[in-house]
Copies of this chain bind each other. A is one copy, B any other.
Amino acid sequence: MDLDLARGLSQEANTKIVLFVMDGLGGLPHPGTGRTELETANLPHLDSIARESACGFTVPVGTGITPGSGPGHLALFGYDPLAYNIGRGVLEAVGIDFDLRPLDVAARGNFCTIDQEGRITDRRAGRISTEDSARIVDGLRAIPLNGAQTFVEPVREHRFVFVLRGEGLSAAVADTDPQAEGVTALAPRATSAEGESTAALVSSFIEQAQPYLRDKSPANMLLLRGFARRPEWPAMGEVFKLRAAAIAHYPMYRGLAKLVGMETLPVGPSLADSVTTLRANWDRFDFLFVHYKYTDTAGEDGDFERKVAKLEEVDAVIDALVDLDPDVLMIAGDHSTPAVMAAHSWHPVPFMLRSRHARADECDRFNEVALLHGSLGTFPAKEALPLAMAHAGRFKKYGA
């Protein structure tokens, strides 16, 4: 749904919506058994919710499109992931919970290895350890720039975030990363006139970094890409008139939630921690997004049995969400991560919506085969929040 339309329809109400996201939820059959992770797992509580929910599948971005974490979540927050793009640098900054301000310019950084002629021999500097990388980053922080403050923050292995803060900055700077080996790094170049002073600052930074990095092989050079500004998107509170909060342990998901104006609540790593935080903040919010990471991690590791076990861990706790009796409870995923693929995939994602006004259907189990009998069919993930808004009495009638 277009956000202007959503803005016009939404109204306040004394109702609560919970969005519970199992990261990488959907799967594919195990070749040995012919059953998916969800079909294999013993999920009595999720199956019970399925019997009283409207069931179906979400398509995160579009048919055949495998989403990253950003688009997969933005869609569930009601934002069309094809219209609301996040620059690479911003996603990286957001991913480590860096407090990116509206005028900052962020880029993704890689340490790399160059030979004596300056040609790149390894774009990832042999994937140096996170600890070594963090030590090298420390030295980069000391580089002074005229007219801008710099932040260099380690991410993991050879990756870091580079942020410029100051007056008159612009993201109109091309990548220095040639995305190839055997060639030299590119000079920072403005992609339009307004990017020229920023490109000059980036050049100065790299020139000063080079002598410092010279003896840090394999991390003897750096590459920057995806210069971007924090997007100024309409906030969920303004568009949907929801007091929205995120209960997410991983920085990436907190960061994404912040981009759409959610308040992020401190929470421990376990699902029990999430439930505790949910209960403690129940009265303060209308919309609570709870993120569970480990289904995706197991899927990405190609560990079918662990993904089954993680689903069963969720099942053991899920009634705590039901017991809070939200007006709308959505059980969803940001994308599928079939263990047999050990990667994100494009497959539609299991979804169910429990509400007093949910239309009954013949789906009585929470898995990829049973959900085909659901009343919701297969629909764009960006429509999930509008659907929840309707069930929560938070959308006015359209037209008289």
- CA of A386 to CA of B63, assembled, Å: 7
Is there contact, CB below 8 Å, between B373 and A372? yes
Is there contact, CB below 8 Å, between A64 and B400? no
A365-395 interface mask toward B, CB cutoff 8 Å, 1 = contact, 0 = none? 0001100110101110001001111110001
Contact pick for A398, options B65, B91, B388, B396, CB 8 Å: B65
Interface residues on chain A, number (Cβ under 8 Å) = 59
Is there contact, CB below 8 Å, between A386 and B341? no
Contacts of A13 in B (CB 8 A): none
- Enumerate A329-354 residues with CB–CB distance to B below 8 Å: 338, 340-341, 344-348
- CA of A61 to CA of B61, assembled, Å: 21
A29 within 8 A of B: yes
A109 within 8 A of B: no
Q: Residue of B at shortest CB range from A389?
A: B64
A67 to chain B minimum Cβ distance, whole angstroms, is: 5
- CA of A69 to CA of B399, assembled, Å: 7
Is there contact, CB below 8 Å, between A70 and B361? no
- Which stretch from A80-88, A179-187, A260-268, A319-327 is at the chain B interface? A80-88
Task: Classify the interface of chain A: helix, strand, loop or mixed.
Answer: loop
A357 within 8 A of B: yes
Contacts of A373 in B (CB 8 A): 372
A28 within 8 A of B: yes
Q: Residue of B at shortest CB range from A347?
A: B359
Is there contact, CB below 8 Å, between B375 and A368? yes
A9 to chain B minimum Cβ distance, whole angstroms, is: 7
Contacts of A68 in B (CB 8 A): 397-400
Known A399-B71, A399-B81; judge A386-B29 contact (CB<8 A): no
Query: Which 9 pairs of residues, A with B, have the shortest CB-CB distance?
Result: A64-B386, A64-B390, A68-B399, A63-B383, A71-B399, A346-B390, A68-B400, A70-B399, A64-B387
Known: A64-B388, A69-B399. 19 other contacts (CB 8 A): A1-B62, A5-B82, A9-B65, A64-B383, A64-B389, A65-B386, A66-B397, A67-B399, A68-B398, A68-B399, A70-B399, A81-B398, A88-B400, A341-B357, A346-B390, A347-B359, A361-B369, A362-B372, A377-B378
Chosen A-B contacts, 26 in total, with CB atoms closer than 8 Å, are A1-B63, A5-B62, A28-B357, A28-B359, A61-B398, A62-B386, A64-B386, A64-B391, A65-B395, A66-B390, A66-B395, A66-B398, A68-B398, A68-B399, A71-B399, A338-B357, A346-B390, A347-B359, A348-B375, A359-B368, A360-B369, A361-B369, A361-B372, A362-B372, A372-B373, A377-B378
